[in-house]
């Protein structure tokens, strides 16, 4: 087996960084024109897709063709589905309250502050978290057990995330559910099926990059960082802080696993509360 192509990989890192920066700058321009910075959430999945496509192009002749195609398709399918879902979910809505609160504290220009603290920061995270996607493209040798295991984890995560998003969207679309807490389907087993799905997806992509010790070492920070963001950073923690005062949420949290899917606990207040 040939050694890890460090020079080509370094070139790929620079080009993927440029691609992610281009996605974020274009998105920033759209936000300035429309007056809504919530569009950056759509760019999250698009940035990963762009990084994967650039790495696929640059890695031609270096990595295994089947492995390169597998990780590129896995990233693009996840990223494009997520971008489309967020765009559809946000249609007809105004600015995201999170960004309104953040930008209300901006010293000086709101847009300049948004560029630094939202777009460039998220672009840096995309580039860093996408390291398994990039390293896997340059891994020599045929697909092995790690890549196949990663494919299984990725598929399970995509199903969990997609089904959870669909169930929540259908629940919210019914006017009879207004003011209620979603506690059905996957949401009865975990309070965050979409975040848990993301967790599986990124550990799956990491496994795809474990064909050599070099690519595994380069990639390990990514799933660890994503796991932190999902559970302690901008994911689960912030959402639960926002939801904690909603009628019925305390009882829901008492009977439902916080992250890893588990059977609902029996609890005296197990019925869905209404305001």
Let me know whether 218 and 90 are in one domain: no
Domain boundary among 107, 141, 175: 141
The last residue of one of the domains, among 141, 169, 201, is 141
Same domain, 150 and 220: yes
Mean of pLDDT values over 169-189: 92
Query: Do 170 and 257 fall within a single domain?
Result: yes
Do 107 and 190 fall into the same domain?
no
pLDDT at 273: 35
Query: Do 179 and 251 fall into the same domain?
Result: yes
- SS3 assignment, position 183: coil
What pLDDT does residue 33 have?
95
Q: Which residues have a Cβ under 8 Å from the Cβ of 165 and sit 6 or more positions away?
A: 85, 194
The pLDDT value recorded for residue 236 is 82
pLDDT tens, residue by residue, 64-74? 999 999 999 99
| Predicted TM-score of the model (pTM) | 0.90
**Which among 113, 141, 169 is the end of a domain?**
141
Q: What digits encode the pLDDT tens for the residues 6-20?
A: 999 999 999 999 999
Asked if 127 and 74 sit in the same domain, the reply is: yes
Q: Are residues 227 and 192 in the same domain?
A: yes
Contact 153, 201 (CB under 8 A): yes
Same domain, 104 and 163: no
Query: In total, how many domains does the chain have?
Result: 2
The per-residue pLDDT for range 55-106, each reduced to its tens digit, is 999 999 898 999 999 999 999 999 999 999 999 998 888 888 888 888 888 8
155 lies in the same domain as 272: yes
Q: Which domain does 182 fall in, by range?
A: 144-275
Domain shared by 5 and 127, yes or no: yes
Q: Using CA atoms, how far apart are residues 234 and 90, in angstroms rounded to an integer?
A: 18
Which residues 6+ apart lie within 8 Å of 209 measured at CB?
Answer: 71, 131, 132, 133, 135, 136, 139, 150, 215, 216, 218, 219
Average pLDDT, rounded, for the chain: 91
Q: Are residues 181 and 65 in the same domain?
A: no
Same domain, 51 and 106: yes
């Amino acid at each position: 087996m040939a050694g890890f192509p460090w020079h080509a990989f370094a070139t790929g890192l620079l080009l993927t960084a440029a691609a992610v920066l281009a996605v974020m700058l274009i998105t920033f321009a759209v936000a300035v024109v429309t007056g809504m910075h919530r569009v950056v959430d759509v760019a999250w999945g698009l940035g990963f897709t762009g990084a994967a496509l650039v790495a696929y192009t640059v890695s031609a002749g270096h990595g295994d063709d089947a492995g390169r195609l597998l990780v590129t398709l896995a990233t693009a399918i996840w990223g494009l589905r997520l971008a489309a879902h967020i765009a559809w979910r946000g249609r007809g809505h105004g600015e995201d309250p999170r960004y309104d609160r953040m930008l209300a504290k901006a010293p000086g220009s709101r847009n300049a502050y948004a560029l630094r603290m939202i777009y460039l920061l998220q672009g840096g995270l995309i580039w860093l978290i996408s390291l398994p996607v990039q390293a896997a493209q340059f891994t020599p040798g045929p697909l092995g057990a790690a890549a196949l295991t990663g494919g299984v984890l990725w598929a399970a995560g995509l199903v969990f995330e997609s089904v959870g998003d669909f169930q929540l969207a259908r629940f919210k679309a019914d006017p009879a559910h207004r003011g209620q807490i979603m506690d059905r389907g996957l949401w009865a087993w975990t309070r965050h099926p979409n975040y848990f799905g993301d967790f599986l997806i990124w550990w799956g992509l990491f496994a795809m990059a474990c064909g050599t010790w070099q690519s595994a070492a380069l990639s390990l920070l990514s799933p660890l960082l994503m796991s932190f963001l999902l559970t302690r950073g901008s994911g689960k923690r912030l959402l639960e802080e926002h939801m904690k005062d909603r009628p019925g949420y305390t009882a829901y949290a008492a009977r439902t696993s916080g992250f890893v899917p588990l059977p609902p606990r029996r609890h005296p207040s197990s019925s869905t509360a209404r305001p």
